[in-house]
Structure formats: structure tokens, C-alpha cells
């Protein structure tokens, strides 16, 4: 059975960018303008019009606008069919008002151009032509059937005669039932209203297009970042596969050295440390190969947030046994239960490694602080390194940019740790900020803001 065709939603967008919301705004101006023009025509120009029927039409249009506003506040997608219905209502309402006010001879008849213009900007070609066809049908009807405007009276009649003489059309317009002055005034007012509405609509459309361009630029940057991450992931998987054999060989050699070594405690401690590091590398490689394409398993990895952080820091201390770390964890208790895949742990471990590398031989302890509430966890890592210069502060987080001076030396880096940490934490809705310390000491504060809604069990 073929999939059913549905109307494309006009948007699941903010109210300001929703086409139906724009129609509501324009119709509000339309209703206000119609009411003011009707009031001026009856009270000031004293033109006898069918006020009850025209007022009822304007009131009905206002009621529809209020109902549409209430519908927008309730939310939900807006279809092209719904927008088409509203534009047709506007065309019919304008046709009814013009029927009682001179029909095609009314200077406001050019307002019929607005609904097809809006339809062309908002709807598909088929529906835009539907609005254009309805507009043309009603306009043609008004040419032959409408109630004529009465001739001008009083001051308006004198003004009409003055304009006719000034333009040399006195004889031509003398035989017309509707006055030349009324026509000129109406055309001027119609021009003012049309210019205002078109300017308002086009400026809003330009603003929306600029927002769309910014979103597309952000999407292109995200796609480029994802391509870089995919390339790094492919290289990491290949490297993990190739490192399995030498690590296994190292583990065998270390085991033989342990068996052949005497009771020298220093050598035994060094060998134990080497074995821990090799086992750690083997576990990491196994997790890389085993977790590809798998989602987190909350039932196996669920921990309270403080236990999760303690486990992560203990794991890091195995990797960096000689690093001094001062830990402060505080937040509401009981701490929320969280479950995260391995990528988030690795992102935080990368940030700790970068801070420890920058900290260097500083005798002070590296500071790790975490505080949380039910919604957000804030992590801060403070090192005593040299800090960030202007270039590093601007380029930090780019792929393959490192603040470590020489990647060929043991302390060097290739510039992907912070890049991957940024990308991973952003995937969980968080952000990473690096700023120089503000306590008159050298070093960097690494701040991680991590929403917990995607991590909670």
C-alpha cells in the first residue's frame, strides 16, 4: 500500500516564523483598517452604506482571527491546507465588503493583490493559483454586480469639483455617480496601507531568510565536524585492531618478568603498574570495538551521579597515577541516577588529561569540582599551567589545533582531544568553556555544563 500524501507542514517553528502567525498579524491590521475606514466613511464623509452587514463581516473576521490565535497558542503543526483556507476567508470577506461599497470602482479593490501575493510566498504553486483564481472570480463578479457608491455630498463634493478642475477632468467626471475626490483619497489611503503591509511582510520575510541562512551555516559546520569525527573514528577503529597484538605481547612479557623477578619491591611495583596500564589499554580497545553502533544500556550502567563521577576519577587515577587531584563533589542528595555511554566518560577523561598535561610539574594539586541539582551538572577543572594566549583562546576546540608545543615530544598533542570532547558533550546538550583563571594565578578553568535530562534513568 503506497504511503499517503500529506500536506507539508508550514512549520514546526517559533511563532514569529510561522506563516499562520504572520497571517494573524496581518489580519489584525486588516480588521483595524477596515473598521477605521468604515467609521470615517459613515461618520465623517457621511456616505450611506450598509453598516450592519459590513460591521458584521468585520466582526466575524475579527472572531476568526482570535480563534486562530488561540489555536496557535495550543501548538501543533500548521498545514498548507489550513493556510489556504484562511487566505480564501480573507478574499471572500474583502469581496463582501466591496460589494456594498462600489465593487470594482472602489479604490480599495487593489487590496485583492495581497492574498495571491501571500499565497505565492507561503504555499505550493497549485494552492497559490487556487487563491489567484478565487480572487479573479470575485473581482470579475464585482465588475457586474455591486452596490454603487453614492455621489459626494457637502465638503467632499466641493473638494471633488476642485480636484476635477485641477486635473482637467471636470467634464469627464461630471457624469460619474461616484466622486473624483473620493476616488483620489481612497487611492492615496490604499497606497499607504499597501506600502505598509508589503514593507512589513517583506522585512519579516527577509529576517526569516537570514535566520534560515544562519541555521544552514550551522548545519554545514555540524556536518563538517561529523565528517571529521567519522574519519577519526575510522582511524581509531583501525588503530585499535592493530594495537591488539603488541599489547598482548607486552602482557605476556610483563607476566614472565613478574615470575622471574625476585622479591625486589620496587621492581614488583613497577611491573604491577605496567600490567595495570597494559590492561587498561586492552580494555579501552575492547570497548572501542565492542561499542560501535551500540546505544547505552541503562540497566547495566545506571549509577548515582556522585558514584559515576567517583568511578570516572578512580579510572583516571589509574591512567595518571602520579597526578595529584583534589576532588570536591556536592549537590542535592540523593543524587540523580544517570546512565551514559562510554563516549561521555572519554570526553571528561580527555579534559582531565589536557588539564594534567598543562599542569605539568606544578606542586599544587589539580582541582576537580562538580556540583549539581535535579536538572544540570556543573564541572570545573582548574590547572596551574601557563594559561591561554590570544591565538589559543580563539582557535581552541578546532580539530588538529593543540596548545602543546611539539607533538613529536612525549608531552605533545595532535589536537583532537578537546575537539572530540566538545563534540561529544554538545551531543548530550552541554557545552565546554576554557577561560584563564581569574584569581591572579596562571592556569585555565575548564567548565563543563551538562544537562541531565538525557542521562537520567
| Per-residue pLDDT at 155 exceeds 80 | no
Q: Which H or E run includes 197?
A: helix 180-260
pLDDT of residue 177: 45
* pLDDT 10s digits, 323-367: 888 899 988 888 888 887 777 888 888 888 888 888 887 888 889
Q: Is the peptide bond before 416 cis (omega within 30 degrees of 0)?
A: no
Quick one: how far is CA 4 from the chain centroid?
29
Lowest mean pLDDT among 298-302, 347-351, 417-421: 298-302
pLDDT of residue 89: 94
| Per-residue pLDDT at 288 exceeds 80 | no
| Per-residue pLDDT at 181 exceeds 60 | no
Confidence of residue 409 (pLDDT cuts 50, 70, 90): very low
- State what percent of residues in the chain have pLDDT above 90: 11
Quick one: how far is CA 257 from the chain centroid?
59
Mean pLDDT of 196-202: 62
Q: Where are the alpha helices (DSSP H) in 292-389?
A: 298-301, 305-319, 342-359
d(CA 236, CA 346): 13
pLDDT of residue 186: 65
pLDDT of residue 175: 45
Confidence of residue 419 (pLDDT cuts 50, 70, 90): confident
- Strand, coil or helix: 78: strand
- State what percent of residues in the chain have pLDDT above 70: 70
Q: Which three cell numbers stand for residue 263?
A: 622479591
* pLDDT 10s digits, 214-263: 888 878 877 776 676 666 666 666 666 667 677 777 877 887 777 777 67
Taking Cα atoms as reference points, which of 230, 446, 241, 213 lies closest to residue 351? Answer: 446
Residue 79, beta-bridge partner list: 9
Tell me the whole-structure pTM to 2 decimals. 0.46
Say which residue, 343 or 411, is predicted with more confidence: 343
Mean pLDDT of 395-420: 55
The overall average pLDDT reported for the chain is 76
The phi, psi pair for 431, rounded to 5°, reads -150, 155
Domains and CATH numbers, the chain: 9-219 (no CATH), 298-451 (3.30.565.10)
- Contact call for residues 85 and 132 (beta carbons, < 8 A): no
Burial track 234-266 (b if 16+ CB lie within 10 A, e otherwise): eebeeebeeeeeebeebbeebeeeeeeeeeeee
| Per-residue pLDDT at 8 exceeds 70 | no
pLDDT of residue 1: 39
Confidence of residue 10 (pLDDT cuts 50, 70, 90): very low
Mean pLDDT of 75-103: 89
Beta strands at 431-436 and 444-451: parallel, antiparallel or unpaired? antiparallel
What residues have CB less than 8 Å from 106, skipping those under 6 apart? 98, 149, 186
Say which residue, 158 or 3, is predicted with more confidence: 158
pLDDT of residue 92: 94
Amino acid at each position: 500500500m503506497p504511503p499517503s500524501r500529506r500536506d507539508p507542514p508550514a512549520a514546526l517553528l517559533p511563532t514569529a516564523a510561522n506563516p499562520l502567525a504572520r497571517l494573524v498579524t496581518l489580519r489584525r491590521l486588516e480588521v483595524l483598517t477596515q473598521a477605521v475606514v468604515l467609521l470615517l466613511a459613515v461618520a465623517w464623509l457621511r456616505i450611506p452604506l450598509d453598516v450592519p452587514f459590513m460591521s458584521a463581516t468585520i466582526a466575524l473576521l475579527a472572531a476568526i482571527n482570535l480563534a486562530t490565535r488561540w489555536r496557535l497558542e495550543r501548538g501543533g503543526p500548521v498545514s498548507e491546507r489550513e493556510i489556504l483556507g484562511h487566505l480564501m476567508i480573507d478574499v471572500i470577506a474583502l469581496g463582501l465588503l466591496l460589494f456594498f461599497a462600489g465593487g470594482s470602482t472602489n479604490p480599495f479593490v487593489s487590496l485583492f493583490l495581497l492574498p495571491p501575493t501571500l499565497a505565492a510566498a507561503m504555499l505550493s504553486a497549485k494552492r497559490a493559483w487556487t487563491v489567484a483564481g478565487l480572487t479573479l472570480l470575485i473581482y470579475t463578479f464585482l465588475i457586474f454586480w455591486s452596490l454603487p457608491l453614492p455621489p459626494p455630498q457637502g465638503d467632499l463634493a466641493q473638494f471633488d469639483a476642485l480636484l476635477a478642475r485641477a486635473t482637467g477632468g471636470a467634464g469627464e467626471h461630471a457624469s460619474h455617480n461616484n466622486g473624483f475626490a473620493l476616488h483620489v483619497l481612497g487611492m492615496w489611503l490604499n497606497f499607504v496601507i499597501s506600502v505598509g503591509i508589503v514593507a512589513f511582510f517583506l522585512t519579516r520575510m527577509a529576517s526569516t531568510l537570514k535566520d534560515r541562512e544562519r541555521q544552514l551555516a550551522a548545519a554545514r559546520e555540524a556536518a563538517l565536524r561529523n565528517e571529521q569525527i567519522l574519519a577519526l573514528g575510522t582511524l581509531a577503529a583501525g588503530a585499535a585492531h592493530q594495537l591488539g597484538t603488541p599489547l598482548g605481547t607486552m602482557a605476556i612479557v610483563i607476566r614472565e618478568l613478574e615470575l622471574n623477578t625476585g622479591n625486589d619491591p620496587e621492581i614488583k611495583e613497577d611491573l604491577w603498574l605496567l600490567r595495570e596500564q597494559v590492561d587498561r589499554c586492552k580494555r579501552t580497545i575492547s570497548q572501542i570495538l565492542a561499542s560501535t553502533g551500540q546505544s547505552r544500556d541503562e540497566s547495566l550502567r545506571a549509577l548515582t551521579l556522585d558514584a559515576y563521577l567517583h568511578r570516572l576519577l578512580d579510572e583516571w587515577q589509574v591512567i595518571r597515577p602520579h597526578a595529584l587531584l583534589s576532588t570536591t563533589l556536592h549537590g542535592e542528595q540523593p543524587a540523580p541516577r544517570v546512565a551514559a555511554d562510554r563516549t561521555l566518560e572519554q570526553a571528561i577523561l580527555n579534559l582531565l588529561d589536557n588539564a594534567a598535561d598543562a599542569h605539568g610539574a606544578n606542586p599544587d594539586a589539580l582541582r576537580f569540582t562538580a556540583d549539581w541539582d535535579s536538572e544540570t551538572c556543573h564541572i570545573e577543572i582548574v590547572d596551574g599551567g601557563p594559561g591561554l594566549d590570544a591565538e589559543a583562546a580563539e582557535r581552541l576546540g578546532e580539530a588538529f589545533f593543540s596548545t602543546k608545543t611539539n607533538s613529536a615530544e612525549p608531552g605533545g598533542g595532535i589536537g583532537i582531544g578537546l575537539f572530540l570532547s566538545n563534540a561529544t558533550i554538545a551531543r548530550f546538550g552541554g557545552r565546554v568553556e576554557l577561560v584563564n583563571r581569574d584569581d591572579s594565578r596562571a592556569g585555565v578553568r575548564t567548565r563543563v555544563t551538562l544537562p541531565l535530562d538525557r542521562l537520567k534513568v
